Amino acid sequence: MAISSDQAVGALRAAAEPTRLRILALLSREELAVLELCRILGQSQPRVSRHLKLLAEAGLVERFPDGAWVFYRLSRASPVRGLADQILALIAEDDPTLARDAARLAGVAEERAQQASQYFAENAARWDEIRSLYTAEDAVEAAILRMAGDGPFDRVVDLGSGTGRMLTLLGERARSGVGLDLSRQMLNIARAQVASAGLKAFELRHGDILATGLGEGEADLVVIHQVLHYLADPGAAVAEAARLVRPRGRLLIVDFAPHDLEFLRSEHRHRRLGFSDMEMERWLAEAGLAAPRTESLPPSAPGGLTVKIWGAERQAARLRRIA
């Protein structure tokens, strides 16, 4: 997309400062909260916020509030986004400053992963109980079955399978299935649940939702149930899940509508406080899936969370390859 000379000058001025260039490089890796950027850059919040404001005004980054937190990412639709990509591409891969920032970012991500792993390990045995605290689980499961359809499905893939509940719920409608999870404690429980349900053609694997190792177009039903709010890059998880969906197949995403229950970050390791329809629709469209059908399930008690289900299909004409 062509840009005006004023836009080009504004973007170049915004990027032509060491800290702001470092911020662009970090946000090219993943979306980050302001306090995470402060920690990686070793600078105060007012100073980092000032740099972010200038980058946002130039159209290079975009901000989005999430409860009491504010996240930033490289602008997706801005006409100057291409300029940011070109600037970053010119920098040597072994640049010492950016390499140091990348290592610090990896440390922040590893700390998040360790905290999440500890939380899941400690709560694996009562996981279904925890997930049912804020809405009626039977209503959610009935809605999932409606959105999934009667099947039969050749292959179901459950990403972030937890205790295996989605596999046992959908098992009667599927000929085979696979569940992936990073928590080995969860996988042990899921294997027992799947075996108890008599699902002999179903397997559980230790795997990452962002890099599943599964084949493109492998499944006619892919499910992500209450997982995205734990992730640093939920959009990338949607893209990977969509890659697995074959023509005429379907992706079901179950998560929360936007909310402001901040205690879920500290006590339950939530990174995002829900997702809007607009954000989810954009991710699904970018992944090559049709506009989703949605269903909202209100909380079972005042002050609870609204559960959202998004169901999107891949058109039969062709299987788009996700980069």
Tokens of 204: 């559980």
Nearest to 112 by CA among 265, 275, 263: 265
Q: Which tens digits make up the pLDDT trace of 96-131?
A: 999 999 999 988 888 777 776 676 666 656 656 555
pLDDT value at residue 127: 54
- State the Cα–Cα distance between residues 279 and 288, nearest whole angstrom: 15
Q: What CATH number matches the domain at 127-313, 3.40.50.150, 1.10.1510.10, 3.40.50.460, 3.40.50.2000?
A: 3.40.50.150
Query: Which DSSP letter does residue 316 get?
Result: S
- State the Cα–Cα distance between residues 234 and 228, nearest whole angstrom: 5
Q: Alpha carbon of 188 to those of 121, 125, 172, 229: distances in Å?
A: 11, 10, 21, 23
What does the domain layout of the chain look like in residue ranges?
5-91, 127-313
Q: What CATH number matches the domain at 5-91, 3.40.50.300, 3.50.50.60, 1.10.10.10, 3.40.190.10?
A: 1.10.10.10
Listed as ranges, residues in the chain with pLDDT below 70 are 1, 116-117, 119-135, 317-323
Do 5-91 and 127-313 fold alike per CATH?
no
- The whole-model pTM stands at 0.73
Q: Left, alpha or beta for 315 (phi > 0: left; psi -120 to 50: alpha)?
A: beta
- State the Cα–Cα distance between residues 266 and 67, nearest whole angstrom: 13
Please provide residue 161's backbone torsions phi and psi, each rounded to the nearest 5 degrees: -75, -15
